[in-house]
Amino acid sequence: MNFLAYQPNPDYNKSAMNIDTPYYLIDERKLLKNLEIIRYIRESSGAKSLLALKCFSAWSVFPLMRKYMDGTTSSSYYETRLGYEKFGKETHSYCVAFSKSEISSASRISDKLIFNSVSQLKQFYPLAKGKEIGLRVNPGVSYSYFDLADPARKFSRLGVIDKREMQKVLPLISGIMFHFNCENCDFENLSANLDYISCNYADVLDSLEWVSLGGGIYFSRSGYPVDKLCRRLKEFSRRFKVQVYLEPGESSITQSCELVTKVLDIVRNRINIAIVDASAEAHMLDLLIYRLNAKINDSGKGKYKYMVAGRSCLAGDVFGTYNFRHPLKSGSIIRFSDAAGYTMVKKNWFNGLQMPSIAVKRLNGRIDLERKFTYKDFVGSLS
């Protein structure tokens, strides 16, 4: 595989210096590396890829992404509408539980409607009739580092468990979705779980037109055996004569964005603590949910140790502890890397802190400030 590579633009830092911190900086050149892998998978395996909007919905880069991806998949009506209006191409609509008004609206703009339960499928089938209908299935196997994100966890409400119940509605559907991975970079595990699905759902798969394997397959991670994945997907598709869909979230945008912040103060409590003009609680919420540290390139290669913390009043609003090459001071810039997935879609107005702007570094090196949030946005978020 030979994917595109671009040389750094010397005007990069000059352009970024004109933007007030904090801001998310999406780099289209880095994004393109992931998109090239997605295109390669499609060409080599036949599997189509849909952007998972629950992970990343920054539509200012959709014009680039739509050249390499086949559409969008959603987890709510609003995401469905966003995908339809801003991305185009195929629009898949899924929700853990639709309301009647949502399904009426979603059915008008969706190519495929995927229900989470047999009860919702039966209830709303008359409203969705004429569209391609799918059903989410919980195969009972999964891969996740975190119980919180494990789709097959104990008492999971995500997808149909009872195969007999599912078989009764097979005449109403044309496809099913198995979303059973979360950041799965273990190809052997994925392959084994596909064997399990192929064995246990063969009679169901033989009657379908399409199958979504969901998201969470970390094929853009360095060292992932992409060619093996392609062969496996192609084999699965040919065996059951189905169109395979993938729903990459993180894999489509990994390492393509930074959260750029500025140090406002240095305090000391047995360790030096740098307080930046952003917040883990408000701007990188998953760090606190999953007890992770933000990533900083080259961290650990310096002798100056600092805890980097947000400026909200939450005591645990901490990005992590890092070693820097040079002492930090008020005004120092800190860039948190790999900050695209589950950040902008979860940002919030906690403490009324300034929301990070959204900027995009285009393929030609130009940096565009796409959105700057103001007090008006803060006031408009409540009533």
Q: Other C-beta atoms within 10 Å of 334: how many? A: 24
Last residue of a domain, one of 227, 253, 279: 253
Sequence-ordered list of residues with C-beta below 8 angstroms from that of 70, at least 6 positions apart, any chain? 42, 48, 49, 50, 89, 90, 245
pLDDT of residue 113: 97
- Tokens (6 digits) for 184: 């799965």
Instruction: Report if residue 67 sits inside a domain.
Output: yes
Considering the domain architecture, whether residues 279 and 348 belong to the same structural domain is answered as yes
Considering the domain architecture, whether residues 17 and 66 belong to the same structural domain is answered as no
Percentage of the chain with pLDDT > 90?
A: 93
pLDDT of residue 129: 81
Last residue of a domain, one of 186, 220, 253: 253
- Tokens (6 digits) for 28: 């289209």
Kindly write down the DSSP assignment for every residue of 190-211, as one continuous string: HHHHHHHHHHHSHHHHTT-SEE
Considering the domain architecture, whether residues 70 and 191 belong to the same structural domain is answered as yes
Region 133-157 average pLDDT = 95
Q: Is 90 exceeded by the pLDDT of residue 136?
A: yes
Q: Is 60 exceeded by the pLDDT of residue 68?
A: yes
Considering the domain architecture, whether residues 367 and 244 belong to the same structural domain is answered as no
Domain that holds residue 322: 12-25+255-380
pLDDT of residue 72: 98
Last residue of a domain, one of 253, 272, 288: 253
Q: How far is CA 311 from the centre of its chain?
A: 26
Considering the domain architecture, whether residues 271 and 304 belong to the same structural domain is answered as yes
Region 328-342 average pLDDT = 97
Q: Helix %, strand %, coil % for the chain, to 5?
A: 35, 25, 45
Instruction: Report if residue 6 sits inside a domain.
Output: no
Q: Is 70 exceeded by the pLDDT of residue 157?
A: yes
- Residue 289 to residues 12, 24, 58, 336, 369: CA-CA distances in angstroms? 33, 20, 22, 17, 29
Region 120-133 average pLDDT = 93
Considering the domain architecture, whether residues 75 and 197 belong to the same structural domain is answered as yes
- Cα-Cα-Cα-Cα torsion 11, 14, 16, 19, nearest 10 degrees, comes to -150
- More confident: 13 or 167: 167
Instruction: Report if residue 2 sits inside a domain.
Output: no
Is 365 exposed, middle or buried (CB count within 10 Å of its CB: 0-12, 13-18, 19+)?
A: middle
Considering the domain architecture, whether residues 33 and 162 belong to the same structural domain is answered as yes
Q: How confident is the model at residue 16 (pLDDT cuts 50, 70, 90)?
A: low
Instruction: Report if residue 5 sits inside a domain.
Output: no
Predicted confidence (pLDDT) per residue in 159-195, tens digit: 999 999 999 999 999 999 999 999 999 999 999 999 9
